[in-house]
Structure 1
Amino acid sequence: MNQTVRNDHQLERQAERQKDHAVILLHGLCGSSLELGTIPKALKKANCTVVEMQIPNYSASLTDPGVTPNWMDWCAMVESKVVKLKEEHKTVSLCGLSMGATLALAVASFSKEILSVVLLSPVLRYDGWSIPWYHRMMNVPYRLGYRNWTYKESDPYGIKNFEMRRRVAAALKKDGVAAVGAAAIPARHLWAAQKLMAYVRQSLSQVRASTLVIHSIDDETAAPRNAEMILANINSEVRKVIWLGDCYHIITVDNEREIVTNETAQFIRRNIEMHSNDISLKYLLHNSPLKDRR
Protein backbone atom coordinates (compact mmCIF):
# COMPACT_ATOMS: atom_id res chain seq x y z
CA MET A 1 0.00 0.00 0.00
CA ASN A 2 2.78 2.41 0.95
CA GLN A 3 4.59 1.56 -2.28
CA THR A 4 1.45 2.31 -4.30
CA VAL A 5 0.98 5.66 -2.55
CA ARG A 6 4.63 6.47 -3.15
CA ASN A 7 4.33 5.65 -6.88
CA ASP A 8 1.18 7.76 -7.21
CA HIS A 9 2.93 10.64 -5.50
CA GLN A 10 5.88 10.37 -7.89
CA LEU A 11 3.54 10.42 -10.89
CA GLU A 12 1.78 13.49 -9.50
CA ARG A 13 5.09 15.27 -9.03
CA GLN A 14 6.16 14.35 -12.58
CA ALA A 15 2.89 15.70 -14.02
CA GLU A 16 3.25 18.84 -11.92
CA ARG A 17 6.75 19.46 -13.27
CA GLN A 18 5.58 19.03 -16.86
CA LYS A 19 2.71 21.47 -16.34
CA ASP A 20 5.40 23.99 -15.51
CA HIS A 21 6.89 23.50 -18.97
CA ALA A 22 5.84 25.34 -22.14
CA VAL A 23 6.58 24.41 -25.75
CA ILE A 24 6.38 26.93 -28.59
CA LEU A 25 5.54 25.36 -31.96
CA LEU A 26 6.76 27.04 -35.14
CA HIS A 27 5.38 25.99 -38.53
CA GLY A 28 7.12 26.55 -41.83
CA LEU A 29 7.30 29.71 -43.93
CA CYS A 30 3.81 30.89 -44.99
CA GLY A 31 2.36 27.80 -43.36
CA SER A 32 -0.07 26.95 -40.58
CA SER A 33 -0.29 24.84 -37.44
CA LEU A 34 -1.69 22.01 -39.59
CA GLU A 35 1.91 21.23 -40.50
CA LEU A 36 2.75 20.04 -36.99
CA GLY A 37 0.45 17.02 -37.29
CA THR A 38 -0.18 15.25 -33.99
CA ILE A 39 2.72 16.85 -32.10
CA PRO A 40 0.52 19.45 -30.31
CA LYS A 41 -1.80 16.70 -29.04
CA ALA A 42 1.12 14.56 -27.83
CA LEU A 43 2.68 17.45 -25.92
CA LYS A 44 -0.63 18.40 -24.32
CA LYS A 45 -1.06 14.77 -23.28
CA ALA A 46 2.33 15.07 -21.59
CA ASN A 47 0.88 18.02 -19.59
CA CYS A 48 2.93 20.64 -21.40
CA THR A 49 1.55 24.07 -22.19
CA VAL A 50 1.51 24.25 -25.99
CA VAL A 51 1.73 27.57 -27.84
CA GLU A 52 1.18 27.47 -31.61
CA MET A 53 2.66 30.73 -32.82
CA GLN A 54 0.96 32.85 -35.49
CA ILE A 55 3.42 35.45 -36.74
CA PRO A 56 2.58 38.47 -38.95
CA ASN A 57 4.02 38.13 -42.44
CA TYR A 58 5.25 34.63 -41.65
CA SER A 59 2.09 32.59 -41.03
CA ALA A 60 -0.20 31.92 -44.01
CA SER A 61 -3.24 33.61 -42.47
CA LEU A 62 -1.24 36.75 -41.68
CA THR A 63 0.72 37.10 -44.91
CA ASP A 64 0.58 40.23 -47.06
CA PRO A 65 2.33 39.59 -50.42
CA GLY A 66 2.95 43.32 -50.82
CA VAL A 67 4.90 43.66 -47.59
CA THR A 68 8.61 42.89 -47.30
CA PRO A 69 9.01 41.20 -43.90
CA ASN A 70 12.06 41.49 -41.67
CA TRP A 71 13.28 38.16 -40.30
CA MET A 72 14.40 39.91 -37.14
CA ASP A 73 10.76 40.82 -36.43
CA TRP A 74 9.90 37.11 -36.59
CA CYS A 75 12.64 36.37 -34.06
CA ALA A 76 11.61 39.25 -31.81
CA MET A 77 8.03 38.00 -31.63
CA VAL A 78 9.12 34.48 -30.67
CA GLU A 79 11.62 35.76 -28.12
CA SER A 80 8.95 38.02 -26.61
CA LYS A 81 6.68 35.00 -26.21
CA VAL A 82 9.52 33.07 -24.56
CA VAL A 83 10.05 35.86 -22.03
CA LYS A 84 6.33 36.02 -21.25
CA LEU A 85 6.04 32.26 -20.82
CA LYS A 86 9.04 32.23 -18.48
CA GLU A 87 7.07 34.43 -16.11
CA GLU A 88 4.60 31.57 -15.53
CA HIS A 89 6.61 28.46 -16.42
CA LYS A 90 9.88 27.04 -15.18
CA THR A 91 11.15 26.12 -18.63
CA VAL A 92 10.39 26.79 -22.29
CA SER A 93 11.31 24.72 -25.35
CA LEU A 94 11.01 25.38 -29.07
CA CYS A 95 9.88 22.93 -31.74
CA GLY A 96 9.96 24.00 -35.39
CA LEU A 97 9.39 22.46 -38.79
CA SER A 98 11.29 23.49 -41.93
CA MET A 99 11.84 27.27 -41.77
CA GLY A 100 10.22 27.11 -38.32
CA ALA A 101 13.20 24.99 -37.22
CA THR A 102 15.56 27.61 -38.65
CA LEU A 103 13.65 30.31 -36.78
CA ALA A 104 13.95 28.26 -33.58
CA LEU A 105 17.72 28.06 -34.06
CA ALA A 106 17.94 31.82 -34.55
CA VAL A 107 16.07 32.49 -31.30
CA ALA A 108 18.09 29.86 -29.42
CA SER A 109 21.32 31.52 -30.60
CA PHE A 110 20.67 34.70 -28.59
CA SER A 111 18.15 33.62 -25.93
CA LYS A 112 19.46 31.89 -22.80
CA GLU A 113 15.93 31.01 -21.67
CA ILE A 114 15.50 27.99 -23.96
CA LEU A 115 15.69 24.55 -22.35
CA SER A 116 15.62 22.52 -25.57
CA VAL A 117 14.97 22.79 -29.29
CA VAL A 118 13.50 20.18 -31.62
CA LEU A 119 14.41 20.77 -35.25
CA LEU A 120 12.24 18.98 -37.80
CA SER A 121 13.63 19.14 -41.36
CA PRO A 122 15.72 22.27 -40.63
CA VAL A 123 16.69 24.42 -43.61
CA LEU A 124 19.98 26.30 -43.85
CA ARG A 125 19.94 26.21 -47.64
CA TYR A 126 17.35 25.18 -50.21
CA ASP A 127 19.44 22.39 -51.70
CA GLY A 128 17.25 19.27 -51.87
CA TRP A 129 16.90 17.11 -54.94
CA SER A 130 13.68 18.82 -56.14
CA ILE A 131 15.09 22.36 -56.00
CA PRO A 132 15.66 23.54 -59.60
CA TRP A 133 19.18 24.48 -60.66
CA TYR A 134 18.08 28.05 -61.37
CA HIS A 135 16.79 28.59 -57.82
CA ARG A 136 19.89 30.55 -56.79
CA MET A 137 19.30 32.91 -59.70
CA MET A 138 15.90 33.92 -58.32
CA ASN A 139 17.61 36.59 -56.24
CA VAL A 140 18.69 38.38 -59.41
CA PRO A 141 15.24 39.64 -60.49
CA TYR A 142 14.49 40.48 -56.86
CA ARG A 143 17.59 42.67 -56.60
CA LEU A 144 16.60 44.31 -59.87
CA GLY A 145 13.24 45.30 -58.39
CA TYR A 146 10.98 42.52 -59.73
CA ARG A 147 9.37 41.42 -56.49
CA ASN A 148 5.69 40.74 -57.22
CA TRP A 149 6.13 37.08 -58.04
CA THR A 150 5.55 33.91 -56.03
CA TYR A 151 7.09 30.49 -55.73
CA LYS A 152 4.33 27.90 -56.23
CA GLU A 153 4.38 24.61 -54.37
CA SER A 154 4.35 21.61 -56.69
CA ASP A 155 4.39 17.84 -56.62
CA PRO A 156 5.53 16.05 -54.44
CA TYR A 157 4.63 18.83 -51.93
CA GLY A 158 7.18 17.52 -49.45
CA ILE A 159 5.27 14.25 -48.99
CA LYS A 160 6.22 10.75 -50.09
CA ASN A 161 2.90 9.11 -49.15
CA PHE A 162 0.84 9.10 -52.35
CA GLU A 163 -2.60 9.26 -50.71
CA MET A 164 -1.60 12.10 -48.41
CA ARG A 165 -0.07 13.91 -51.37
CA ARG A 166 -3.35 13.64 -53.26
CA ARG A 167 -5.26 15.14 -50.33
CA VAL A 168 -2.77 17.98 -50.01
CA ALA A 169 -3.01 18.81 -53.72
CA ALA A 170 -6.81 18.96 -53.41
CA ALA A 171 -6.65 21.15 -50.29
CA LEU A 172 -4.19 23.57 -51.90
CA LYS A 173 -6.40 23.88 -54.96
CA LYS A 174 -9.53 24.48 -52.88
CA ASP A 175 -8.30 26.54 -49.91
CA GLY A 176 -4.82 27.72 -50.86
CA VAL A 177 -3.34 26.16 -47.72
CA ALA A 178 -2.85 22.59 -46.47
CA ALA A 179 -0.76 20.50 -44.11
CA VAL A 180 2.32 21.39 -46.17
CA GLY A 181 1.74 25.14 -45.99
CA ALA A 182 0.49 27.67 -48.50
CA ALA A 183 0.06 27.03 -52.22
CA ALA A 184 2.54 29.79 -53.01
CA ILE A 185 5.23 31.79 -51.17
CA PRO A 186 5.72 35.48 -52.05
CA ALA A 187 9.16 36.53 -53.27
CA ARG A 188 9.51 39.04 -50.43
CA HIS A 189 9.06 36.31 -47.85
CA LEU A 190 11.59 34.06 -49.56
CA TRP A 191 14.04 36.97 -49.48
CA ALA A 192 13.54 37.36 -45.72
CA ALA A 193 13.98 33.61 -45.27
CA GLN A 194 17.29 33.74 -47.14
CA LYS A 195 18.48 36.43 -44.71
CA LEU A 196 17.37 34.32 -41.76
CA MET A 197 19.23 31.26 -43.04
CA ALA A 198 22.39 33.29 -43.59
CA TYR A 199 22.26 34.55 -40.00
CA VAL A 200 21.73 31.06 -38.57
CA ARG A 201 24.61 29.58 -40.58
CA GLN A 202 26.92 32.11 -38.91
CA SER A 203 25.44 31.76 -35.41
CA LEU A 204 25.22 28.01 -34.81
CA SER A 205 28.07 28.07 -32.28
CA GLN A 206 25.95 30.27 -30.02
CA VAL A 207 23.27 27.58 -29.63
CA ARG A 208 23.63 25.77 -26.30
CA ALA A 209 20.16 24.40 -25.64
CA SER A 210 19.66 20.63 -25.79
CA THR A 211 18.98 19.82 -29.44
CA LEU A 212 17.13 17.09 -31.31
CA VAL A 213 17.30 17.02 -35.12
CA ILE A 214 14.97 14.78 -37.12
CA HIS A 215 15.66 14.78 -40.85
CA SER A 216 14.87 12.62 -43.85
CA ILE A 217 17.76 11.26 -45.90
CA ASP A 218 15.52 11.78 -48.95
CA ASP A 219 14.43 15.36 -48.13
CA GLU A 220 13.63 17.04 -51.44
CA THR A 221 13.86 20.60 -50.03
CA ALA A 222 16.82 20.51 -47.64
CA ALA A 223 19.56 17.94 -48.16
CA PRO A 224 20.89 15.94 -45.16
CA ARG A 225 23.95 18.20 -45.07
CA ASN A 226 21.72 20.83 -43.44
CA ALA A 227 21.28 18.63 -40.36
CA GLU A 228 24.93 17.59 -40.41
CA MET A 229 26.06 21.23 -40.40
CA ILE A 230 23.87 22.00 -37.41
CA LEU A 231 25.11 19.05 -35.36
CA ALA A 232 28.73 19.81 -36.18
CA ASN A 233 28.60 23.47 -35.18
CA ILE A 234 26.21 23.94 -32.24
CA ASN A 235 27.65 23.97 -28.71
CA SER A 236 24.88 21.97 -27.05
CA GLU A 237 25.96 19.40 -24.48
CA VAL A 238 22.96 17.27 -25.43
CA ARG A 239 22.50 16.73 -29.16
CA LYS A 240 20.73 13.93 -30.96
CA VAL A 241 19.87 13.17 -34.56
CA ILE A 242 17.29 10.78 -36.00
CA TRP A 243 17.46 9.94 -39.69
CA LEU A 244 14.28 8.90 -41.50
CA GLY A 245 14.23 6.79 -44.64
CA ASP A 246 10.61 6.71 -45.80
CA CYS A 247 9.47 10.32 -46.10
CA TYR A 248 10.28 13.66 -47.70
CA HIS A 249 10.42 17.17 -46.20
CA ILE A 250 7.14 17.43 -44.27
CA ILE A 251 7.99 14.59 -41.91
CA THR A 252 5.20 15.46 -39.46
CA VAL A 253 2.45 14.20 -41.80
CA ASP A 254 4.30 11.68 -43.96
CA ASN A 255 4.91 7.94 -43.62
CA GLU A 256 7.01 8.17 -40.44
CA ARG A 257 4.92 10.81 -38.66
CA GLU A 258 4.37 8.59 -35.60
CA ILE A 259 8.12 8.28 -35.06
CA VAL A 260 8.48 12.05 -35.37
CA THR A 261 5.71 12.74 -32.86
CA ASN A 262 6.89 10.15 -30.34
CA GLU A 263 10.56 11.15 -30.50
CA THR A 264 9.68 14.83 -30.15
CA ALA A 265 7.52 14.32 -27.08
CA GLN A 266 10.01 11.90 -25.52
CA PHE A 267 12.97 14.25 -26.02
CA ILE A 268 11.15 17.16 -24.43
CA ARG A 269 9.95 15.01 -21.51
CA ARG A 270 13.48 13.81 -20.83
CA ASN A 271 14.82 17.35 -20.79
CA ILE A 272 12.10 18.39 -18.37
CA GLU A 273 13.13 15.56 -16.05
CA MET A 274 16.84 16.35 -16.35
CA HIS A 275 16.14 20.00 -15.62
CA SER A 276 13.92 19.17 -12.64
CA ASN A 277 16.44 16.73 -11.19
CA ASP A 278 19.25 19.26 -11.60
CA ILE A 279 17.22 21.90 -9.76
CA SER A 280 16.40 19.40 -6.99
CA LEU A 281 20.09 18.54 -6.58
CA LYS A 282 21.10 22.20 -6.43
CA TYR A 283 18.36 22.88 -3.88
CA LEU A 284 19.51 19.96 -1.76
CA LEU A 285 23.16 21.01 -1.82
CA HIS A 286 22.26 24.60 -1.06
CA ASN A 287 20.03 23.80 1.91
CA SER A 288 21.83 20.76 3.32
CA PRO A 289 25.59 21.42 3.29
CA LEU A 290 27.83 18.54 4.28
CA LYS A 291 29.20 18.77 7.80
CA ASP A 292 32.92 19.09 8.36
CA ARG A 293 33.95 15.69 9.79
CA ARG A 294 37.51 16.61 10.64
Structure 2
Amino acid sequence: MDTLSSTDHPGPVTPPPAEDRQGGPHKEHAVILLHGLCGSQLEMGSIPKQLKKAGCTVIPLNIDNYSAALTNPRVSPNWEEWCAVVESRVARLKEEFRTVSLCGLSMGATLALAVAARSKELLSVVLLSPVLQYDGWSVPWYWKLLTVVYDLGFRNWSYKESEPYGIKNFEMRRRVASALEKDGVAAVGAASIPARHLRAALRMIDYVKQSLPLVRTDTLIIHSIDDETASPRNAEQILQYINAEVRKVVWLGDCYHIITVDNEREIVTNETVMFIRRSIEMHGHEFSRKHLAHASPLKDRRG
Protein backbone atom coordinates (compact mmCIF):
# COMPACT_ATOMS: atom_id res chain seq x y z
CA MET A 1 0.00 0.00 0.00
CA ASP A 2 1.92 3.00 -1.19
CA THR A 3 0.29 5.44 -3.58
CA LEU A 4 -3.02 7.08 -4.35
CA SER A 5 -5.01 6.36 -7.48
CA SER A 6 -8.14 7.87 -8.98
CA THR A 7 -9.35 4.44 -10.12
CA ASP A 8 -13.11 4.18 -9.62
CA HIS A 9 -13.96 0.79 -11.09
CA PRO A 10 -12.45 -2.56 -10.14
CA GLY A 11 -11.24 -4.77 -12.97
CA PRO A 12 -12.65 -8.17 -13.91
CA VAL A 13 -12.26 -10.84 -11.31
CA THR A 14 -12.31 -14.60 -11.11
CA PRO A 15 -15.80 -15.89 -10.19
CA PRO A 16 -15.98 -16.97 -6.54
CA PRO A 17 -15.75 -20.71 -5.94
CA ALA A 18 -18.82 -22.59 -4.88
CA GLU A 19 -19.36 -24.22 -1.52
CA ASP A 20 -17.70 -27.64 -1.33
CA ARG A 21 -19.19 -30.10 1.12
CA GLN A 22 -16.94 -32.89 2.26
CA GLY A 23 -17.19 -36.17 4.13
CA GLY A 24 -14.55 -37.73 6.35
CA PRO A 25 -13.77 -37.56 10.06
CA HIS A 26 -14.81 -33.89 10.39
CA LYS A 27 -17.81 -33.91 8.07
CA GLU A 28 -19.82 -32.12 10.75
CA HIS A 29 -17.48 -29.13 10.78
CA ALA A 30 -17.66 -26.09 8.49
CA VAL A 31 -14.94 -23.47 7.97
CA ILE A 32 -15.82 -20.02 6.63
CA LEU A 33 -12.98 -18.37 4.69
CA LEU A 34 -12.69 -14.56 4.82
CA HIS A 35 -10.31 -12.93 2.36
CA GLY A 36 -8.84 -9.46 2.71
CA LEU A 37 -10.55 -6.13 2.03
CA CYS A 38 -11.59 -5.79 -1.63
CA GLY A 39 -9.88 -9.09 -2.36
CA SER A 40 -10.92 -12.56 -3.49
CA GLN A 41 -10.67 -16.18 -2.44
CA LEU A 42 -7.49 -16.45 -4.53
CA GLU A 43 -5.74 -15.03 -1.48
CA MET A 44 -6.41 -18.13 0.62
CA GLY A 45 -3.88 -20.23 -1.30
CA SER A 46 -3.96 -23.97 -0.61
CA ILE A 47 -5.89 -23.69 2.66
CA PRO A 48 -9.31 -24.56 1.13
CA LYS A 49 -7.93 -27.67 -0.58
CA GLN A 50 -6.23 -28.98 2.55
CA LEU A 51 -9.25 -28.31 4.75
CA LYS A 52 -11.36 -30.32 2.33
CA LYS A 53 -8.83 -33.14 2.48
CA ALA A 54 -9.18 -33.05 6.27
CA GLY A 55 -12.91 -33.62 5.80
CA CYS A 56 -14.17 -30.12 6.59
CA THR A 57 -16.80 -28.34 4.55
CA VAL A 58 -15.29 -25.12 3.20
CA ILE A 59 -17.41 -21.97 2.80
CA PRO A 60 -15.58 -19.34 0.69
CA LEU A 61 -17.66 -16.35 1.73
CA ASN A 62 -18.03 -13.33 -0.55
CA ILE A 63 -19.63 -10.19 0.87
CA ASP A 64 -21.32 -7.22 -0.79
CA ASN A 65 -19.13 -4.12 -0.75
CA TYR A 66 -16.27 -6.07 0.81
CA SER A 67 -15.24 -8.63 -1.83
CA ALA A 68 -13.66 -7.41 -5.07
CA ALA A 69 -16.34 -9.00 -7.26
CA LEU A 70 -19.08 -7.27 -5.27
CA THR A 71 -17.52 -3.87 -4.66
CA ASN A 72 -19.08 -0.58 -5.73
CA PRO A 73 -16.53 2.20 -5.13
CA ARG A 74 -19.34 4.79 -4.91
CA VAL A 75 -21.10 3.02 -2.05
CA SER A 76 -20.15 3.80 1.55
CA PRO A 77 -20.13 0.36 3.19
CA ASN A 78 -20.93 -0.33 6.83
CA TRP A 79 -18.62 -2.79 8.61
CA GLU A 80 -21.53 -4.00 10.76
CA GLU A 81 -23.24 -5.20 7.60
CA TRP A 82 -20.11 -7.23 6.80
CA CYS A 83 -20.35 -8.77 10.27
CA ALA A 84 -24.06 -9.43 9.84
CA VAL A 85 -23.41 -11.43 6.66
CA VAL A 86 -20.87 -13.63 8.46
CA GLU A 87 -23.07 -14.00 11.55
CA SER A 88 -26.05 -14.97 9.40
CA ARG A 89 -24.01 -17.63 7.61
CA VAL A 90 -22.70 -18.96 10.94
CA ALA A 91 -26.26 -19.21 12.27
CA ARG A 92 -27.46 -21.09 9.19
CA LEU A 93 -24.49 -23.45 9.24
CA LYS A 94 -25.09 -24.22 12.91
CA GLU A 95 -28.46 -25.65 11.91
CA GLU A 96 -26.64 -28.21 9.77
CA PHE A 97 -23.17 -28.59 11.30
CA ARG A 98 -22.21 -29.14 14.89
CA THR A 99 -19.23 -26.78 14.76
CA VAL A 100 -18.15 -23.78 12.70
CA SER A 101 -14.79 -22.00 12.49
CA LEU A 102 -13.61 -18.80 10.82
CA CYS A 103 -10.32 -18.40 8.96
CA GLY A 104 -9.45 -14.87 7.82
CA LEU A 105 -6.54 -13.16 6.12
CA SER A 106 -5.51 -9.54 6.70
CA MET A 107 -8.71 -7.50 7.14
CA GLY A 108 -10.57 -10.79 6.87
CA ALA A 109 -8.84 -11.79 10.10
CA THR A 110 -9.98 -8.53 11.69
CA LEU A 111 -13.51 -9.24 10.48
CA ALA A 112 -13.27 -12.72 12.05
CA LEU A 113 -12.29 -11.09 15.36
CA ALA A 114 -15.26 -8.72 15.17
CA VAL A 115 -17.61 -11.66 14.67
CA ALA A 116 -15.93 -13.70 17.42
CA ALA A 117 -16.44 -10.80 19.85
CA ARG A 118 -20.18 -10.80 19.05
CA SER A 119 -20.86 -14.54 18.75
CA LYS A 120 -20.67 -17.56 21.05
CA GLU A 121 -21.36 -20.00 18.22
CA LEU A 122 -17.79 -20.45 16.93
CA LEU A 123 -15.48 -23.36 17.59
CA SER A 124 -12.27 -21.51 16.64
CA VAL A 125 -10.81 -18.62 14.68
CA VAL A 126 -7.63 -18.59 12.61
CA LEU A 127 -6.14 -15.12 12.14
CA LEU A 128 -3.63 -14.80 9.30
CA SER A 129 -1.76 -11.48 9.30
CA PRO A 130 -4.46 -9.70 11.35
CA VAL A 131 -4.61 -5.90 11.10
CA LEU A 132 -5.34 -3.62 14.06
CA GLN A 133 -3.21 -0.83 12.68
CA TYR A 134 -1.37 -0.16 9.46
CA ASP A 135 2.12 0.18 10.90
CA GLY A 136 4.34 -2.01 8.73
CA TRP A 137 7.61 -0.82 7.24
CA SER A 138 6.13 -0.10 3.77
CA VAL A 139 3.17 1.99 4.98
CA PRO A 140 3.74 5.60 3.80
CA TRP A 141 4.18 8.43 6.27
CA TYR A 142 0.97 10.14 5.10
CA TRP A 143 -1.23 7.09 5.85
CA LYS A 144 -2.84 8.55 8.98
CA LEU A 145 -3.70 11.75 7.13
CA LEU A 146 -5.96 9.87 4.72
CA THR A 147 -8.77 9.59 7.25
CA VAL A 148 -8.60 13.35 7.75
CA VAL A 149 -8.83 13.86 3.99
CA TYR A 150 -11.81 11.48 3.87
CA ASP A 151 -13.62 13.12 6.79
CA LEU A 152 -13.16 16.51 5.12
CA GLY A 153 -15.30 15.22 2.26
CA PHE A 154 -12.71 14.10 -0.31
CA ARG A 155 -13.89 10.55 -0.90
CA ASN A 156 -13.56 9.70 -4.61
CA TRP A 157 -10.05 8.30 -4.43
CA SER A 158 -8.52 4.85 -4.06
CA TYR A 159 -5.49 3.49 -2.31
CA LYS A 160 -3.31 1.74 -4.88
CA GLU A 161 -1.33 -1.41 -4.13
CA SER A 162 2.32 -1.37 -5.20
CA GLU A 163 5.61 -3.15 -4.57
CA PRO A 164 6.15 -5.46 -2.77
CA TYR A 165 2.41 -6.39 -2.89
CA GLY A 166 2.73 -8.20 0.44
CA ILE A 167 4.97 -10.88 -1.06
CA LYS A 168 8.66 -11.53 -0.44
CA ASN A 169 9.04 -14.24 -3.09
CA PHE A 170 10.30 -12.43 -6.20
CA GLU A 171 8.82 -14.77 -8.81
CA MET A 172 5.40 -14.77 -7.16
CA ARG A 173 5.56 -10.98 -6.88
CA ARG A 174 6.27 -10.71 -10.62
CA ARG A 175 3.25 -12.86 -11.42
CA VAL A 176 1.06 -10.86 -9.06
CA ALA A 177 2.11 -7.57 -10.66
CA SER A 178 1.19 -8.99 -14.08
CA ALA A 179 -2.21 -10.23 -12.85
CA LEU A 180 -3.02 -6.89 -11.21
CA GLU A 181 -2.17 -5.01 -14.38
CA LYS A 182 -4.24 -7.38 -16.53
CA ASP A 183 -7.26 -8.21 -14.35
CA GLY A 184 -7.25 -5.72 -11.47
CA VAL A 185 -7.15 -8.51 -8.88
CA ALA A 186 -4.67 -11.23 -7.94
CA ALA A 187 -3.65 -13.54 -5.11
CA VAL A 188 -2.82 -10.47 -3.01
CA GLY A 189 -6.19 -8.79 -3.49
CA ALA A 190 -7.33 -5.87 -5.63
CA ALA A 191 -5.10 -3.38 -7.44
CA SER A 192 -6.70 -0.56 -5.44
CA ILE A 193 -9.04 -0.10 -2.49
CA PRO A 194 -11.73 2.63 -2.54
CA ALA A 195 -11.52 5.25 0.22
CA ARG A 196 -15.04 4.44 1.45
CA HIS A 197 -14.06 0.82 2.06
CA LEU A 198 -10.89 1.77 3.87
CA ARG A 199 -12.85 4.09 6.15
CA ALA A 200 -15.33 1.32 7.00
CA ALA A 201 -12.44 -1.04 7.74
CA LEU A 202 -10.83 1.49 10.09
CA ARG A 203 -14.12 1.83 11.98
CA MET A 204 -14.24 -1.94 12.32
CA ILE A 205 -10.69 -1.90 13.67
CA ASP A 206 -11.76 0.61 16.34
CA TYR A 207 -14.54 -1.75 17.42
CA VAL A 208 -12.26 -4.79 17.49
CA LYS A 209 -9.63 -3.05 19.62
CA GLN A 210 -12.26 -2.29 22.26
CA SER A 211 -13.84 -5.74 22.05
CA LEU A 212 -10.82 -8.06 22.22
CA PRO A 213 -11.65 -9.18 25.81
CA LEU A 214 -14.96 -10.56 24.49
CA VAL A 215 -13.15 -13.06 22.26
CA ARG A 216 -13.17 -16.42 24.06
CA THR A 217 -13.04 -18.95 21.25
CA ASP A 218 -9.90 -20.96 20.42
CA THR A 219 -7.57 -18.61 18.54
CA LEU A 220 -4.60 -19.21 16.24
CA ILE A 221 -2.56 -16.26 14.97
CA ILE A 222 0.03 -16.62 12.22
CA HIS A 223 2.06 -13.49 11.53
CA SER A 224 5.31 -12.57 9.82
CA ILE A 225 7.94 -10.73 11.82
CA ASP A 226 8.72 -8.84 8.59
CA ASP A 227 5.12 -7.95 7.70
CA GLU A 228 5.30 -4.75 5.66
CA THR A 229 1.64 -3.83 6.25
CA ALA A 230 0.95 -4.74 9.89
CA SER A 231 3.85 -5.10 12.31
CA PRO A 232 4.12 -7.95 14.86
CA ARG A 233 2.60 -5.56 17.43
CA ASN A 234 -0.78 -6.37 15.89
CA ALA A 235 -0.54 -10.05 16.83
CA GLU A 236 0.94 -9.24 20.23
CA GLN A 237 -1.96 -6.92 21.07
CA ILE A 238 -4.50 -9.60 20.18
CA LEU A 239 -2.72 -12.22 22.27
CA GLN A 240 -2.54 -9.86 25.22
CA TYR A 241 -6.20 -8.87 25.37
CA ILE A 242 -8.33 -11.78 24.16
CA ASN A 243 -9.77 -14.14 26.80
CA ALA A 244 -9.44 -17.39 24.88
CA GLU A 245 -8.28 -20.32 26.99
CA VAL A 246 -6.64 -21.81 23.91
CA ARG A 247 -4.48 -19.33 22.04
CA LYS A 248 -1.43 -19.89 19.87
CA VAL A 249 0.85 -17.73 17.76
CA VAL A 250 3.14 -18.87 14.96
CA TRP A 251 5.83 -16.41 13.88
CA LEU A 252 7.16 -16.54 10.31
CA GLY A 253 10.54 -15.23 9.24
CA ASP A 254 10.65 -15.49 5.45
CA CYS A 255 7.54 -13.77 4.09
CA TYR A 256 5.62 -10.50 4.11
CA HIS A 257 1.90 -9.79 4.64
CA ILE A 258 0.17 -12.25 2.28
CA ILE A 259 1.53 -15.31 4.06
CA THR A 260 -0.88 -17.72 2.33
CA VAL A 261 0.97 -17.49 -1.01
CA ASP A 262 4.50 -16.47 0.04
CA ASN A 263 7.61 -18.48 0.89
CA GLU A 264 6.17 -20.12 4.02
CA ARG A 265 2.71 -20.86 2.66
CA GLU A 266 2.99 -24.59 3.44
CA ILE A 267 3.62 -23.82 7.11
CA VAL A 268 0.60 -21.51 7.14
CA THR A 269 -1.66 -24.13 5.58
CA ASN A 270 -0.44 -26.97 7.80
CA GLU A 271 -0.74 -24.96 11.02
CA THR A 272 -4.24 -23.81 10.07
CA VAL A 273 -5.50 -27.33 9.35
CA MET A 274 -3.86 -28.82 12.45
CA PHE A 275 -5.27 -26.15 14.75
CA ILE A 276 -8.82 -26.56 13.50
CA ARG A 277 -8.50 -30.35 13.68
CA ARG A 278 -7.29 -30.17 17.29
CA SER A 279 -10.13 -27.82 18.23
CA ILE A 280 -12.61 -30.30 16.81
CA GLU A 281 -11.00 -33.14 18.76
CA MET A 282 -10.83 -31.14 22.00
CA HIS A 283 -14.36 -29.75 21.90
CA GLY A 284 -16.19 -32.37 19.85
CA HIS A 285 -17.88 -34.05 22.82
CA GLU A 286 -18.85 -30.69 24.32
CA PHE A 287 -20.57 -29.57 21.12
CA SER A 288 -22.17 -32.99 20.72
CA ARG A 289 -23.82 -32.60 24.13
CA LYS A 290 -25.05 -29.12 23.17
CA HIS A 291 -26.43 -30.49 19.93
CA LEU A 292 -28.31 -33.27 21.72
CA ALA A 293 -29.64 -30.89 24.37
CA HIS A 294 -31.22 -28.69 21.70
CA ALA A 295 -32.44 -31.51 19.48
CA SER A 296 -36.13 -32.30 19.27
CA PRO A 297 -37.11 -35.22 21.55
CA LEU A 298 -37.96 -38.52 19.90
CA LYS A 299 -41.60 -39.41 19.74
CA ASP A 300 -42.55 -42.05 22.30
CA ARG A 301 -43.89 -44.98 20.28
CA ARG A 302 -44.72 -47.17 23.28
CA GLY A 303 -48.29 -48.20 23.96
Q: Give the TM-score of the pair, scaled to structure 2.
A: 0.87
Deviations 1:98-124 (A, max 9, x none): 000000000000100000000000000
Shift of 1:210: 0.1
Alignment of 1:273-292 (within 5 A): 273-278=281-286
Query: What is the rounded CA distance, in whole Å, between the counterparts of 1:200 and 1:71 in structure 2?
Result: 11
Q: Find runs of 4+ consecutive structure 1 residues off by over 3 angstroms.
A: 277-283
Query: What is the rounded CA distance, in whole Å, between the counterparts of 2:85 and 2:160 in structure 1?
Result: 27
Deviations 1:259-283 (A, max 9, x none): 0000000000010111124457999
Match of 2:294 in 1: none
Shift of 1:141: 1.5
Shift of 1:17: 4.8
Alignment of 1:1-294 (within 5 A): 17-278=25-286
Indicate if the aligned counterparts of 2:111 and 2:204 stay in contact, CA closer than 8 A: yes
The one-letter code of the counterpart of 1:87 is E
Corresponding residue SS for 2:124: strand
Structure 1 vs Structure 2 CA RMSD: 1.3
Corresponding residue SS for 2:168: coil
Task: Specify every segment of 5 or more residues in structure 2 that has no aligned partner in the other structure, as ranges.
Answer: 1-22, 292-303
Q: Give the TM-score of the pair, scaled to structure 1.
A: 0.90
Shift of 1:80: 0.2
Number of residues paired by the alignment? Answer: 269
Deviations 1:235-275 (A, max 9, x none): 00000000000000000000000000000000000101111
Query: What is the rounded CA distance, in whole Å, between the counterparts of 2:105 and 2:83 in structure 1?
Result: 15
The one-letter code of the counterpart of 2:247 is R
The one-letter code of the counterpart of 1:33 is Q
Match of 1:289 in 2: none
Shift of 1:60: 0.2
Query: What is the rounded CA distance, in whole Å, between the counterparts of 2:243 and 2:216 in structure 1?
Result: 5
Match of 2:295 in 1: none
Which of these two proteins has the greater Rg computed from alpha carbons?
A: 1
Corresponding residue SS for 1:214: strand
Aligned residues: percent identity? Answer: 73
Normalized per residue, which structure has more helix? 1
Query: What is the rounded CA distance, in whole Å, between the counterparts of 2:119 and 2:290 in structure 1?
Result: 23
Corresponding residue SS for 2:64: coil
Query: What is the rounded CA distance, in whole Å, between the counterparts of 2:177 and 2:165 in structure 1?
Result: 8
